[in-house]
Structure formats: structure tokens, C-alpha cells
Chains A and B, each alone.
Chain A
Amino acid sequence: MVSKNIILAAALVGVLAFGGEQFAMSDSDRAMYAEMLENNPADMDVESGSELLEEYCDGDAGLAKFLGVSEDALPNYIAGFPRYIDSLDMVAGLDQVIQALMVQNGHKPFALASADMFSMLAYSKAIANDEKINIDVNANKHMKEAIALGDEVFNTKRGGRGLSCMSCHSPDVIGSILRTQPLPDLGSVENKAAATWPAYRMTKSSMRTLQRRFQGCMNNALLAVIPLGSKEMVALEVYVTEQAKGREIAIPGLKR
């Protein structure tokens, strides 16, 4: 908990140090951010995710069993998601694994976009807190295909304004200002997106997941929003996760 706060505080200083009148964070925003560093509202979602996982999936043990690993090995294994999952014969996000596990346990799975699923995902990923992201995009041909597809989707210009993710997240524009917002480096120690989502999003007053964050960017930039859990969405997650490889997982994150 303490180390997580230090990381967040460092990230915050990084953001605020950017300074200048172009930056949009007001003093009251700043005060709220500081308060939330102490007490991330999404901790409650994680807590409720823990209870739901217990109820529907037999908790950590059930998850470990489904994934075919010991409970001791679970954190490290989760730090490698999205992964190729044999029993699904596809590269899956952790939320899809939870759905499959719910089905196997005789339950109707929560929708990927539901708050309950966001909570379960947040808890499950938090099992890997302090582990370093260890995704292996060369593990097998499925992962190789996923990273290639993710690269393609990230670079495909589309939508009402002809933009791609790369238009705003390529190395040559990182740090530039888009309407008062510095463009984040998705893989940097400060942002490490894949290691810090699910996160509490202050501007949305709720916890969001990484794929949900992608949808936010699509929506803002007028790209047609693609659904959670689609092959392309999971591939994007693989691509963005690879950028934060080796970074320590700290869930739930706290974002502007």
C-alpha cells in the first residue's frame, strides 16, 4: 500500500511539474487528487470484486485451478495476461477467463461491460500487485498473431477525423499538449497504463478498465468504438501491455 502510494505520488509530481498555464488541473483538483492518493475510491470495487470472485469462481483457488497453476504461482501468471488459454483456444483477457470460469461453475457470466465484471477483473489483476508485467508475445503463434493484430489496430487510421491511436501516442508526439492534456507515454514508469488499469478515473467518478479506457479514446477521437472482448480489443490490450512490460503492477490505479 505504501509503495503503491509512492509510485502514484511520483506520477502525480510528474504530471503537475508539467505546469504552465496550459495544464488544466485546478487547485481543488489537486487537493482531491492528493486525498484520493490516500484513499482510492476504487479500493471498494476491488473489495467487492474479491467477494464476487469468491462467490462465483471459488476465489483465488478456483481461478488458479481453472488456469492450471498453483495458487503460489498465480500472481506471476496473472502478470502475463492477456494470454493464450488452451481451454478457450484463443488469446483471452482476464475478464473473459472469469466469464468462462463462471460458466463452468454453472453461472450466467456477468457482461464484460458490467460494473461487477470490472470489479472482479480489478480484484483478479490486483492479485498480481507488485509483480512485473511479464507478457510473452512470442510464446506461441496465437500471441504472435495477437501482437501483430494489435499493432495493426493501433496504427489504423479511421473514423470521422482519420486518426489512429498512433496519431496521439507515437513517440514523436508524447508530451505534447492536446487541449490542455499532455499526451501520455503509455509504457513509461509514470503512466505504465497496462500496470495501472483498472483505475479510478476522477473525471468519470468511477473505476474503468484498460479496454474501457481504449473505448474512451476511440469515442473522443471519433473512431467507431469496438466492443470489449473482441479479438481486436484483446489484441490492442496485448500491444499496450507489451509497452509496459517489466513494470510493476499497482491496481487500482488513479487517473485524472
Chain B
Amino acid sequence: MRKSLFMMITVGMTLASAADLRSAIEVPDASAIIAKDLLGPAKQFTMPKGCITDDKDAIARGSFIFHNLNGKKAKQNPPTGLSRKNADGKEKQYGNCVACHNIEGAKGGGNIGPDLTNYQEYFMKTGTRDNVYVYQKIADPRIDNPDTHMTVNLTTGLFTEREICDITSYIVSIKK
């Protein structure tokens, strides 16, 4: 009690101004964190050669990225060519596309984005969409829709070109 009384007097004397009192409480800076974290402008990409494939492993990787959140949360082991961790040892992020999209075999699929079930049949064969559209959509959907609620996957550097190709190949593939 006596100690706190003493402190009260000393503190009372040193905290003459609002700035002093403010500096005694937590007001951390967040602007630098946000500035470093900002998203670059919308970017148009060119689909690389040999991007769309019916290679089983590529489609399996695309599927895995689509249905899983990250290396730590994934229940099954990732297929050949995909790892749970990045080179720096941190857990690898996957697409978690299923959070917003339904598709064949989806568990707990969301409906924020369109249902991608039967994509080849409904979207490709009808000529509504083509590979380039799907590739760009996943890479940076803002080119098609500046106000999109969808994630940006290549401009952010979260995935490589090849991974975007794997995901695209999976979506346009014919599923059983």
C-alpha cells in the first residue's frame, strides 16, 4: 500500500502531459506491418506452355491444393511433388478453394464462389470458359472482376506457375 502510494506520487509527477501517459500504455505501431503486407496491383498472366495436362500426379497435386488449407492441417500426406513444408521449413499453404467452392468430392464445400462441379461439361464444352480464363482466374481474379471476393494466388507469390497449372488441370479434368 505504501509502495503504491509512493509510486502514485512519482508517477503523478512524471505523467504531466497526455503524451507522457500515452507513452506509459500500449500503443504499438501497425502501419509498417500493413505496408509490408499489401497486395500488388492486378496482374495479367500468360499461361505457360504445357500448362494444362492430364498427368495424374499433376492433377492429384491440384486436387490436394484445392481441398486442403495447409501442411499442418492436411489429414493425408500430399501427393508426389508437393510437400507439407516450404524450403524455409515453414508449413506450406495450400489453396483451401473448397472453403468457397463446391466441387466433386468436396467435404464441407462453401458457396461464396460458384459451384465448380462438372466444370468441363457445364463451363468448357459450352464454350463459356477456356483454360486461359481458368488459369488467369486462379492466378489473379481481379483482371476479370476488380471487386472479386476470391483469393489472389499467383500475384501474391503463394503458389508457383506450375502449381497454378496443376490446380487448373484439376478443375478442367473429367472427374469420376
Contacts A105-B4, A179-B96; A229 near B37 (Cβ below 8 A):
no
Size range of the chain B interface in the assembly: 35 or more
Q: How far, in angstroms, from A223 to B37 measured CA to CA in the complex?
A: 7
Interface contact B149-A168, CB-CB below 8 Å:
yes
Residues of B23-39 whose CB lies within 8 A of A: 24-31, 33-34, 36-39
Binds A, one of B54-62, B120-128, B152-160: B152-160
Interface contact A159-B98, CB-CB below 8 Å:
no
CB contacts between A and B, total, < 8 Å = 144
Q: Which residue of A lies closest to B100 (CB)?
A: A178
Q: Which residue of B lies closest to A24 (CB)?
A: B108
Contact of A104 among B11, B109, B158 (CB under 8 A): B11
Contacts A157-B39, A158-B34, A230-B28; A88 near B111 (Cβ below 8 A):
no
Interface contact A183-B39, CB-CB below 8 Å:
no
Interface contact B18-A160, CB-CB below 8 Å:
no
Q: Does B15 contact A (CB under 8 A)?
A: yes
Interface contact A99-B26, CB-CB below 8 Å:
yes
- Please encode chain A, from 139 to 180, with 1 for each CB lying within 8 Å of some chain B CB and 0 for all others: 000000000000001001111111100011010110011111
Contact of B28 among A176, A177, A227 (CB under 8 A): A227
Q: How far, in angstroms, from A227 to B31 measured CA to CA in the complex?
A: 10
Contacts A96-B26, A100-B24, A156-B34; A106 near B156 (Cβ below 8 A):
no
Identify the interface centre among B10, B15, B21: most chain A CB within 10 Å of its CB.
B21
Q: Give A contacts to B, CB under 8 Å.
A: 22, 24, 86-90, 96, 99-100, 103-107, 109, 111-112, 153, 156-163, 167-168, 170, 172-173, 176-180, 183, 222-233
